Structure 1
Amino acid sequence: MPVCRDDLYVAIKVCVAEKDHGGETRELQTLNKLASYYRHLEHVVKLLDNFDLKGPNGIHTCLVYELLGPNIPDTINAYFPGGRLPGKLAKSIAKQSLIGLDSLHRYAIAHGDLHTRNLTFTVPSMDYMTKEEKFIEMLGKPEIGLVRRSDGKDLETGIPEYIVRSSSFRTHMWNWAQSIKIIDFGESFLYTTVPQTLHTPLPVRAPEVIFQDHIDYRVDLWSMGCMLFELFVGQPPFDTFLITPTILVAQMQEMASDELPERWHEKWETMKSSDDEPTESTAPDLQEWLEELYFNSAQIPDLTRQDIVRLGRIIGKLLRLEPSARASAKQVLDDPWFDE
């Protein structure tokens, strides 16, 4: 079969195969709606095309995206030995991510999986690299590992013969464009088709998901509060190591600027009684924790204490246990601090 080639480099996401492949996936449904608004979505990844691929395990939906650069954690690991972004760069990224989220919510779309690994930097167009060898030189040669059974027997049908390590951009690719886009719409949903639950990483998961309450776009506002915290200090506000829902909710109550909604009290008592983990948290409040992590770091701060105080107030408007009490992305963006 002839291969069609053009001078456009793309990223392809191959979704998990489905035995019964009928209609659009939730992700594709969201992205198809977004396609009408791309000219207004500067900080959201663009879907260029999609197709189905039949494999031994079923039919894979394949999504063709514009090519983007590394995500936030990978960038920090590669270029910032202090473990966090410079404050002014973090502020720029925070504003861009809020613009991106506000635009999604304006078009009645919730992301559902907002965290720093789903924020990626843009890169200059590489379409001028007509020779594939040059492209591989920029990204590095793909590393392939053979798949073997531990007992030495033959692989079963449907198991891949090899896997390929994800590529990463080399140091000289970093262009300091400082422009980011929100990616990965696997947990996204339209306001009219709300899922029963979400699989957002636990440390940034909204409390209403944990309490199995009604879900709507405001889950993104809680996750945005966690993400803003992490952008400036290099870690989320809550524990990430061996965290459980019970421990997390206890920490949420220490950090949040409001009380646990009464409708969750009964379930919270059940969680505490069925979990051996201590729920009496001695964690500092949000502002204390933010200042401690920012100023007691090996990295020299480039933001003032007043900057961090104002940042803490902004995050506090998002980290509210009651979803209806959270500030919208637009309200947060209207804070003058982002333009100073």
Structure 2
Amino acid sequence: MLSYADISGANIAFTATQLVHLSEEDLFNVIGSPQSTELARVDGKPLCPSLLKQLVQKAIWDDWTDEDEEDIRLLDWGEAFLHGAEPAKLAQPGDLRVPEIIFTTRFDRRVDLWRAGCTYSGDEAVLVAQMINFVEELPTEWQTAWQAIQDSSGSSGRRFPTGGATKSKLDRRFYEMVGEPELLPLLPIIQGLMRFLPSKRISGAEAVSLL
């Protein structure tokens, strides 16, 4: 089995059947014309042949509305790995690193579960503090490593949490951001996926069964 390992909002795309049959001109009337700039080295030397010649700004579609059905796609499989053949490390955005990569040297397919929970909803010590404040109490076996992270943090004099989050914090944030009643069943799924210990996270099949 293959683990994707890089779930984030930037790597998820969906079809828009309302736009499929538009001409290029009509499409740009909806999402705006592409904005691009030439890529150049700061030292003025020629670009490597393998590099792109331009950077294109992503399109922003403010007037998009939900369709009855959407076909979801995952993009950028560069970090994917086979189960049992995990790489030595993963290249992950700082604010989406899974806790087991911070506190241990081991990770497996269950990185996908944490990242899936984070997708709906910097400094390593700050990142962990945010996790503790938001998710749950840090596992006992990670407390020593957490103290070492705080001791080596560049955030001098800053006080970080040592206990767990109030149980309702994730709930409160969810209700602040999600107003549609039909999305309420997602809350227990997010709670089940965002557990510090991989062994405590619900499986993908369990998450689907809760929908």
Indicate whether the TM-score tops 0.5.
yes
Counterpart for residue 158 of structure 1: 47
**Pairing 1:291–2:183 present:** no
Matched, 1:176 2:176: no
1:187-198 residue pairs with structure 2 within 5 A? 187-198=79-90
Work out which structure has the larger RCO, using CA pairs closer than 8 Å and 6 or more positions apart in sequence.
2
Letter in 2 for 1:245: E
Shift of 1:204: 2.5
* Separation (CA, whole Å) in 2 of partners of 1:292 and 1:208: 24
- Is the aligned partner of 1:186 residue 2:78? yes
CA distance in 2, matches of 1:147, 1:192: 39
Which residue pairs with 1:247 in the alignment?
126
**In 2 relative to 1, CA 109–286 (structure 1 residues): closer, same or farther, beyond 3 Å?**
farther
- Counterpart CA distance in 2 for 1:225 and 1:174 is 23
Task: State how many pairs are aligned.
Answer: 205
Q: Give the letter aligned to residue 11 of structure 2.
A: N
Task: Decide which of 194, 201, 206 is 1:326's aligned counterpart.
Answer: 201
Q: 1:247 is matched by which residue type in structure 2?
A: V
Contact 1:143 1:165 in 2 (8 A): yes
How far is 1:136 from its partner? 5.4
For the aligned residue pairs, the C-alpha RMSD in angstroms reads 3.6
Matches within 5 A, 1:130-279: 140-147=32-39, 155-158=44-47, 163-168=54-59, 176-179=67-70, 180-228=72-120, 230=121, 243-257=122-136, 259-262=138-141, 264-275=142-153, 276=156, 277-279=158-160
C-alpha separation in 1, matches of 2:186 and 2:65: 27
Counterpart Cα distance in 2 of 1:219 and 1:292 = 22
Against the structure 1 CA distance between its residues 324 and 163, is the aligned structure 2 distance closer, same or farther, given a 3 Å change threshold? same
Equivalent AA in structure 2 for residue 326 of structure 1:
R
Q: Give the CA deviation at 1:116.
A: 1.9
For 1:111, give the aligned amino acid: Y
Change (3 A) 1:323 1:156: same
- 1:169 Cα shift? 6.4
Secondary structure, counterpart of 1:192 in structure 2: coil
The Cα shift of 1:289 comes to: 4.0
1:186–1:200 CA distance, 2 compared to 1 (3 A): same
What TM-score comes out, normalization by structure 2 length?
0.75
- CA change 1:200–1:149 in 2 (3 A) is closer
Q: Work out whether residues 110 and 188 of structure 1, in 8 Å CA contact, stay in contact via their aligned partners in 2.
A: yes
- 188 and 137 in structure 1: CA distance in 2 versus 1, 3 angstrom threshold: same
Structure 2 CA distance for partners of 1:122 and 1:184, relative to 1, 3 Å:
same
User: 1:211 & 1:225 partners in 2: Cα distance?
Assistant: 19
Flag the 1:206–1:183 CA change in 2: closer, same or farther, 3 A. same
Q: 1:125 to 1:209 in 2, by over 3 A?
A: same
* Amino acid aligned to 2:195: R
SS of the residue corresponding to residue 160 of structure 2 reads: coil
In the alignment, the residues of structure 1 paired with residue 27 and residue 188 of structure 2 have an alpha-carbon distance, to the nearest angstrom, of 45
The match for 1:115 is 8
Matched residue type, 2:124: P
Bigger Cα displacement from structure 2, 140-149 vs 324-333: 140-149
Rounded to whole Å, the distance in 1 between the matches of 2:96 and 2:17 is 31
Structure 1 runs not aligned, ≥5 long: 1-107, 231-242
Q: Per the alignment, do residues 139 and 311 of structure 1 end up closer, same or farther by CA in structure 2, a change over 3 Å counting?
A: closer
Q: Does the 8 Å CA contact 2:136/2:166 hold for their aligned counterparts?
A: no
- SS of the counterpart of 2:181? coil
% of aligned pairs identical?
24
More displaced 10-residue stretch of structure 1: 175-184 or 195-204: 175-184
Superposed, 1:97-112 pairs within 5 Å as: 108-112=1-5
